[in-house]
């Protein structure tokens, strides 16, 4: 995981998350008296919606033509998927505009982001307050007054709030579906048909084929996450565990403080920009992030396997769209940026291919229902090591009576 630790890199046309830093400092300065002994770094869904809306494209209405096309694509996708997975349908497919997507997913983003915001801001504040005056071990008084450290904690959180809002706004303009980021941000299934049509034009494929392909992927992921709610909880808990372990090197801060007057709020950007405030997870936190990465890899590869089976012989442009989607997933897209910065997940293309091979093998040897039943508990799934070499994992499966109603020992986690 790589939580934000200072001004993030950006292109020339990307808004600066530190814009208005002076105004923020003035506002937070007025909170100095109230700040002592009080922490308030959490982001709310309403604040995220408001912050993101200022960076979003103009409102786009999903007209009747697109709504009907999405309804039809959802019905056909569900029908095809019935033979490719044993998981039940999660309901109808909705057509969303970027604004509707933001409205529906804001609470989900906040649920994912707040542990990182609190962990990063809290680690910075803790490192500041651990310093003692003039580096003298006999002088226990802090070099940074507690109220000032609390103010800095809020400044750090405020910058992270702004960065998340800007990233979510960019994502709203390009995301194809609700579950393109494979986390249960909102219930059900939805696609953003304007983005899907633009993607189809870029690829040179028919818009109706692109819509049907995206509908299949979205409906498949919705089925998986709704039937197995532990998946989203595990991703959220893993993120929180990594965020809770974040630490900032107090010695790096002490070195960066030379020449910086921390009693003057206007000097805060100098410390922030020095890189000394970088928050890093402990070994336990990195292990939690690795588990999240493996789980996301398994979710994504399962979806690849299922829609591949559903589209076989039916959707001529499937191979081209699948390849394009994989390139999109690995490129510097808003989705990848968000997964990298917020979830700390950089899904490996090689591990995705290995995981897809595992799912294909299990379905071919034991059947679709047995494959899908592995999602009933995390202990039944491949581990990070298994995605490096799945030989032992598959051998263990082959030695058990893995059938549709099989006798797997682990209890259900749903």
Q: How far from 22 is each of 5, 28, 128, 241, CA to CA, in Å?
A: 19, 10, 21, 33
Residue 359, pLDDT score: 97
Q: Looking at 244, 264, 283, which one is the last position of a domain?
A: 283
Contacts with 1 (C-beta within 8 Å, 6 or more apart), sequence order: 239, 242, 243, 281, 285, 286, 289, 343, 344
Residue 303 covered by a domain: no
How far apart CA 190 and CA 184 sit, in angstroms, is 12
Range of the domain at 85: 21-283
- Give pTM, 2 decimals: 0.82
Residue 15 covered by a domain: no
Q: Looking at 283, 304, 338, which one is the last position of a domain?
A: 283
Residue 7 covered by a domain: no
Report the DSSP beta bridge partners of residue 132: 142
> 274 falls in which pLDDT band (50, 70, 90)?
low
Residues 277 and 393 in one domain: no
> 108 falls in which pLDDT band (50, 70, 90)?
very high
**pLDDT(132) > 60:** no
* Range in 55-64, 300-309, 357-366, 395-404 the model is least confident about: 395-404
Residues 270 and 141 in one domain: yes
Residue 157, pLDDT score: 83
Q: Looking at 226, 260, 283, which one is the last position of a domain?
A: 283
Q: How many structural domains is the chain composed of?
A: 2
Residue 293 covered by a domain: no
């Amino acid at each position: 995981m790589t939580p934000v630790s200072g001004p993030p890199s950006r292109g020339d046309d990307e808004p600066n998350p530190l814009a208005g830093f002076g105004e923020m400092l003035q506002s937070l300065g007025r909170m100095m008296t109230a700040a002592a002994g009080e922490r308030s770094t959490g982001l709310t869904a309403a604040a995220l919606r408001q912050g993101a809306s200022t960076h979003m494209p103009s409102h786009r209405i999903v007209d009747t033509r697109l709504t009907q096309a999405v309804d039809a694509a959802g019905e056909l996708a569900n029908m095809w998927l019935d033979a490719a997975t044993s998981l039940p349908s999660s309901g109808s497919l909705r057509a969303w505009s970027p604004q509707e997507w933001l409205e529906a997913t804001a609470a989900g983003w906040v649920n994912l982001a707040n542990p990182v915001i609190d962990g990063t801001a809290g680690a910075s504040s803790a490192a500041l307050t651990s310093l003692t005056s003039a580096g003298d071990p006999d002088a226990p008084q802090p070099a940074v007054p507690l109220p000032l450290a609390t103010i800095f904690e809020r400044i750090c959180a405020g910058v992270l709030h702004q960065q998340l809002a800007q990233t979510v706004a960019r994502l709203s303009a390009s995301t194809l579906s609700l579950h393109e980021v494979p986390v249960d941000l909102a219930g059900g299934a939805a696609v953003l048909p304007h983005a899907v049509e633009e993607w189809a034009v870029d690829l040179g494929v028919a818009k109706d084929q692109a819509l049907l392909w995206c509908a299949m992927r979205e409906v498949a992921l919705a089925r998986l996450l709704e039937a197995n709610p532990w998946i989203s909880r595990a991703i959220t808990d893993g993120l929180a565990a990594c965020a809770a372990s974040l630490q900032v090197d107090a010695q790096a801060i002490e070195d960066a403080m030379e020449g910086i007057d921390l009693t003057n709020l206007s000097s805060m950007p100098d410390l922030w920009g020095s890189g000394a405030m970088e928050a890093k997870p402990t070994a336990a936190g990195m292990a939690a992030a690795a588990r999240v990465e493996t789980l996301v890899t398994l979710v994504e590869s399962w979806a690849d396997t299922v829609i591949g089976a559903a589209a076989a012989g039916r959707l001529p442009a499937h191979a081209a769209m699948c390849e394009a989607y994989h390139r999109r997933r690995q490129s510097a897209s808003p989705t990848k940026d968000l997964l990298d910065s917020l979830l700390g997940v950089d899904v490996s293309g090689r591990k995705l291919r290995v995981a897809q091979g595992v799912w294909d093998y299990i379905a071919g040897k034991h059947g679709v229902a047995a494959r899908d039943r592995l999602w009933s508990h995390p202990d039944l799934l491949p581990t990070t090591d298994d995605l490096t070499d799945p030989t032992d994992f598959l051998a263990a499966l082959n030695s058990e009576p893995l059938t549709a109603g099989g006798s797997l020992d682990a209890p259900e986690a749903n």
